[in-house]
Amino acid sequence: MKTLIFNGSPRINGDTSSLIRLLTEKITGEYKIVNAYRCNISPCLDCRYCWEHKGCQIDDEMQEVYQYIEECDNIVIASPIYFSELTGKLLDVASRLQTYFCAGYFRKEEPVGKVKKGAVILVGGGDGHMDRAYSTARILLHHMNCPEIHELVYSHNTNERPAITDEKAVAGVNSILTFFDEQDMENTAEAIDA
């Protein structure tokens, strides 16, 4: 089983990263983390190459991410909340998913062949408005062919307590692991039956 994790946090040891570490310590199979603040991925330039061609003509780390999206079984979007939205750097990376929208809309092709499961982890210390960020994350997951998305896992009030001490958030991360493992067990059973 392969899992792709988009990390929208600028902080190496911040609240989002602590929940990602909890996830990766227990995850089945291999995983890849795309750190929006430390990767070499440019935002979409609206060159419109993907209106007629698969992929993207910008040659950077996103080419590896596209390949991993094709192969993986699960995708997680994890981010702090900035002004009720995913972080700007994460949205820069996510803008490169435009090729998947264009595949269906302009090229009339299946954007991503393999169906996956998705999950969203959000943390915040502000006013608690996570609906917009969750909606954006769900849209991105759908474009990467994640029709089944785990319920939102979040930690609020991180200005007052670390997310890793939030029992509801920790339980949510464990629930994501169970959700992903259900798919792995189904795939194993199908392989045995074949």
Report pLDDT digits (tens) over 142-179.
Answer: 999 999 999 999 998 898 899 999 999 999 999 999 99
Q: Is the pLDDT of residue 40 over 60?
A: yes
Side chain identity at 59, as an amino acid letter? Answer: D
| Cα four-point dihedral sign 44, 45, 46, 52 | negative
Q: Mean pLDDT, to the nearest integer, of 177-184?
A: 86
* Residue 31 contacts residue 72 (beta carbons within 8 Å): no
Helix (H) or strand (E) holding 35: strand 30-35
Which is nearest to 9 in space by CA: 59, 79, 60, 71? 79
> How many CB atoms are located within 10 Å of the residue 109 CB?
12
Closest CA to 16 of 24, 65, 73: 24
- Which residues, including other chains, have CB under 8 Å from residue 168's CB and lie 6 or more apart? 155
Residue labelled with tokens 């998913």: 97
pLDDT of 191 over the 50 cut? no
Tokens at 173, concatenated: 């991360």
- Domain CATH for 19: 3.40.50.360
User: Residue 165 has what pLDDT?
Assistant: 96
The pLDDT tens digits of the residues spanning 2-19 come to 999 999 999 999 999 999
The whole domain housing 69 covers 2-193
Domain count, the chain: 1
Angle between helices 15-26 and 167-193 (to 10 degrees): 30
85-126: per-residue pLDDT in tens? 999 999 999 999 999 999 999 999 999 999 999 999 999 987
Q: Which has the closest alpha carbon to 111: 102, 121, 123?
A: 102
Number of CB atoms found within 10 A of residue 128's CB:
12
In this predicted structure, what is the pLDDT of residue 126?
A: 72
Entry pTM: 0.93
Distance CA 87, CA 181 (A): 28
pLDDT of residue 186: 56
Q: What is the pLDDT of residues 19-32, one digit of tens each?
A: 999 999 999 999 99
Query: By three-state DSSP, how is residue 94 classified?
Result: helix
Look at residue 175 and give its three-state secondary structure. Answer: helix
